[in-house]
Structure formats: structure tokens, C-alpha cells
A and B are shown apart, each in its own frame.
Chain A
Amino acid sequence: MKMAENILDMDKITIKFGGLTAVDDFSMYINKGELVGLIGPNGAGKTTIFNIITGIYKPTAGKIVFKGIDITGLKPQLINQIGIARTFQNIRLFSDMTVLENIMVGQHSYFTNRKALNFLHTHDPKKYPKSLWRPWLFSAILKTPDYVKIEKVMKAKAFDLLGKMELQKYADFKASALPYGQQRKLEIARALATNPTLLILDEPAAGMNPQESQVLLESIRKIMKDFSLTILLIEHDMKFVMNICERIYVLDYGKLISHGNPEAVQNDKKVIEAYLGDEVYV
């Protein structure tokens, strides 16, 4: 059997807010192409871990390595440009902009920013070539031919993405005008527009009925294949998690209490204790 390539490696992450330890000595790895779940009771620190991975919080201690690059303490935008995209628990779309524009905002830095590419180049010159010249502010203002070309490519790719997510008929709708389930989908599409290798989903099925979450489940499987993604997700819906995830990490009070495949986790005493009384498990 071929050793799976390790894409994300969190090593002994601890974060404290004031005197409070929100995440304590948390370690986790994700292999390329895996679908990993992160579960735990409310307030266990799941979203905090997402915020640490995406650079919104700086961990007090510990190290995060992504694709062999130490990303601990990097800025959120740089982490995104290196290849981690996320959604939010309470949808945070750009609600005053159209669906198409939301997608194109996601593409913006991929098409216009050289910073991430240069960062990768200095990290490993052999693997990552130096960035090519990319259109910048003045070409955008003057609408130079190469900028117009880029804009065309962006639009085509955005429509392509909308098509894959079955959102194309909403392209000119304001994001806020979309039904709830479609907004969730759009948020995933917007994250995909940044060309990630690791996609982080924060409660993607929240507020959905069983039929809707079944559809979502299918579409997550599909995009995973289409975009050759690795996915990490938080979810409250146990059935959903057990159905979709290959491995599961269980968090309680900021500590890792269990880890393994769905069956192993389900039968873990510690997990049952942590969830005891929690209506989700029943």
C-alpha cells in the first residue's frame, strides 16, 4: 500500500484567550484526498480550530504545516492563497453583490495577486516557479488587453463553477435573494473559486432538512472528485458525519478525546460520555 501524502499537519496546537484555554494541545493530520470530520459538543472549540487553520487566530503554541509549508501565524489571505478555503457557520456571503460577483471575488486574488506565488517560490524554488507577470491595478483601471482577457477567463470559469454547483440560473441574483440552501451552496462555490486544495466546511448542513442534507452530501462527494479536494468539516448532524467522513476527530473542552474511523468513534466510551444528554447523539 502506498503511503498517503500528508497535506495538513497540526502539531500540539494550544490557544488561550486571556486566562481561558480554548484549545489545548490539539494534534491532527489530514491526508490528501481524505474527508475528515471534526465533531464535539457545543463550545468544544471546533470553530476556533478552523479559525486557527485559516489564520484568523494565532495559536499560543504549536505548529501547523500545510503541504510541507509552516503556515503558523501567517495572515488569512496568504493562507487562502496557498490553498485553504473555508465557509462560515453562519453564512457570510457578500449579500449586496450578485451570485456571479461573489464567485468572482473569490477568484480575485488567484488572478491578480503575485504575493502568494512569490511566497511559495521563496519557500521552494524548484517546486513553485516564479510568478508570471500578472495584471495589476493600473491595467485594471486602463482596461488593457491582458486585463480584459483575464476578466473574460474569470467570467468563463465562474460560470463553469456555477454550472457545476447548479447555480447558473441565479447568476444575476443578489446573493441575499437566494433561498437558504442555495446560499450555503454559493458559499461553497465561492470558496472553490479561490482554487483551494483543502476545503474547510463549518457546519454545511446546519438548518437543512434530511432531504436537503442528503442532496448536499451528494454534491460534496461530487465536488470532491471534480476538484480533487481534501475536505475537513464540522457538523452537528451525526448521521451526516458518519455517512460521509472517512476519519473523525472528537473534541471536548478544547481537548482531543477520540479519533478514528466512524465506527470506532461511535463506540468510544469517552465520546458517548461527552455527548451524554446532548440531543444530537440521541
Chain B
Amino acid sequence: MNALIQNFFNSLALGGLYALIAVGYTMVYGILRLINFAHGDIFMMGTYFAFYAITLLLLPWWLGFLFAIFITGLLGYSIEKIAYRPLRNAPRISSLITAIGMSFFLESFAVVVFGGIPKSFNVYPKMFSDVIIIGKTRIPVLTFITIIVTVLLFLFLWWLLYKTKTGLAMRAISVDIPTTSLMGANVNNVISITFIVGSSFAAVAGILWAMKYPQVQPYMGFTPGLKAFVAAVIGGIGSIQGAIVGGFLLGFLEIMLVGFFPNLAGYRDVFAYVTLVIILMFRPTGIFKIYSEQKV
């Protein structure tokens, strides 16, 4: 029972992280039909920014985190502007290749500038790693923080999408770019905002992730990135609700798999990828159907 409650909270936290990353994938895909392959590496860059903001710029931890989130948003903005915008009218596969190149660039950049050796991410207040004991259940403070931050960010996202003009434009563009631009929305600005929001969310997820597995390294973004993409596909890529639901679902399935079959722990990623392939094959639209099949 205790294990079950513990697992429940763990999966909420892990699912929240997946959802935070997945939102970035799904928003970009919704608008540009582009799998932003570099998203996992933006997540990685976010953790490095936080690390150096605190160790090098000697900012207090909370300011360092905010700084990192801001800089990562800026990074997402520049990536779109430099690498993706020139290819917006190119074949979709070309943009995907460019995104792969961007991912590769960010990883190499991190190796060169930050060094290839994993760094210990011990820049957060010690109380975060405390454990709250309720009865016999032990839940780390960080888990609670993760859950709370995730919920707050999704509330913010909801406000942004449904209560602001920008959000309206975002939703309109994801349906039809030409028409929306005719109606006077500045498509480029909206796309930029999408990248900034998605990247900042990834930075938050990155910082929370780095505190959970307290180290950072240049290739840390690949697996969480790919798995968050799986989450986005489970939920129905292009749908923000889908990404959130998919993230939590994947988190739950993964924690429960490891919880109930401990000797399959090494295969948890395999499990996620197999899920991806099965969903792509049998229900490519995911849970929340956004895109119907293309007409001939």
C-alpha cells in the first residue's frame, strides 16, 4: 500500500515532467507540422544554464533558475529564427533534417563549451532533497515541488491559450496558417512565442529533472526528449490537452511497470518506444484526435 502511494506520487512527478516537455513538441507540431528534434537538447541546455547561472554568475538559486528559464526561451526563439524559419516553405522532411542537425549542434556545443563529463547538479537548496514521511510512506519534497510547479505552469498555459489574444492566434494558426495571417495575426510573432513558451517549459522540466537525477551532461536530453515525444503522440500530437494527458499516462505506465516488474526496469524505455510504434500504426491521431488522415 505504501509502495503504491509512493509510486503514485512518483508517477505524478515523472508524468508532469514528460508533460512539460511534451507540450513543447506538440505546440510546435501543431503550428509548423515539424517534429522539433532539438527540443530534448533545449531541455539539456536549460539545465546547463541553471547550473552556470548559479555556480558562475553566483546568482541565488531561485534567480538562477528564472534566469535559465528566460535564456532557454531566448534560445528556442533564436533556433526557430535562424534554422527553421528559412525552411518554412521547404519540404517537411527538410525541416526535420535541419532539426536533427540543430539537435546535433546543441549537443556538440555542450560538449565543447560545458565539457563532456557529467557534472553534479548540487546547486539547489538542500531542503529539496528532504523526504516527507507520512505514516510509513516516504515522499521527497522535490516530488511535491515538481507536481505543484507542473500544475501552475499548466494553469498559466491555459490562461495564455484561452484568455489572451496571442493564445487565440496560436489556436487559429494551428488550424490554418494562410487564413490566420489574412486575418491580421502576425504569424511570425506567434510562432516565436510558441517556441519561447515551449522552450521555457522544457527548461523548467530540465531543472526539475536535473534535481531529481542530480547531474547534467550533454546527451541527457535525448531519452527524456524522445519519451516526451512518445507522450505527445499518445495524447495526439498537436493537441495540448493530449500532451498533458499523454505525459501523465506515460509516467504512470512507466512507474507501474518498474514497480510491479522490477526485473524489467532495464526495458522501461523499450516499453515506451514500443508503445510509440503501436500507436503510430493503429491510432496515429492519439487519444485526442486532431489530425484526420490526409486526403489524396
Chain A interface residue number, banded: under 10
Report if B281 contacts A (CB, 8 A).
no
Q: Is B296 an interface residue (CB 8 A)?
A: yes
Is A51 located at the chain interface by the 8 A CB criterion? yes
Report A47-100 residues with CB < 8 Å from chain B CB.
51, 56-57
A55 to chain B, nearest CB (A): 11
What's the A-B contact tally at a CB cutoff of 8 Å? 4
Chain A residue with Cβ nearest B296: A56
Q: Which of B250-296 contact A (CB under 8 A)?
A: 292, 296
**Bound: A56/B292 CA distance, A:** 17
Residues of B within 8 A of A56 (CB): 296
Residue of A nearest to B295 (CB): A17
Residue of B nearest to A57 (CB): B296
Residues of B contacting A18 with CB < 8 Å? 292
Cα(A140)–Cα(B126), bound, Å: 68
Give Cα A280 to B3, complex, Å.
75
Flag A148-180 by CB within 8 Å of B: 1 or 0 each.
000000000000000000000000000000000
Q: Nearest CB to that of A47 among chain B residues? A: B296
Q: Which residue of A lies closest to B293 (CB)?
A: A17
The answer for the CA separation of A57 and B295 in the assembled complex, in Å, is 10
Chain A hits for B292, CB < 8 A: 18
Instruction: Report the nearest B residue to A51, measured CB to CB.
Output: B296
CA A126 to CA B17, docked complex, whole Å: 66
Give the chain B neighbours of A51 by CB distance below 8 A: 296
- The CA-CA distance from A51 to B295 in the complex, in Å, is 11
B238-253 toward A: CB 8 Å interface, digit per residue (1/0)?
Answer: 0000000000000000
How many angstroms from the CA of A190 to the CA of B292 in the assembled complex?
A: 32
| Residues 59 to 81 of chain B near chain A (Cβ within 8 Å) | none
Q: Which residues in A have some Cβ–Cβ distance to B below 8 Å?
A: 18, 51, 56-57
- A to B CB contacts below 8 Å, 4 in the list: A18-B292, A51-B296, A56-B296, A57-B296
Of all A-B residue pairs in the complex, the 4 with the closest CB atoms, nearest first, are A56-B296, A51-B296, A57-B296, A18-B292
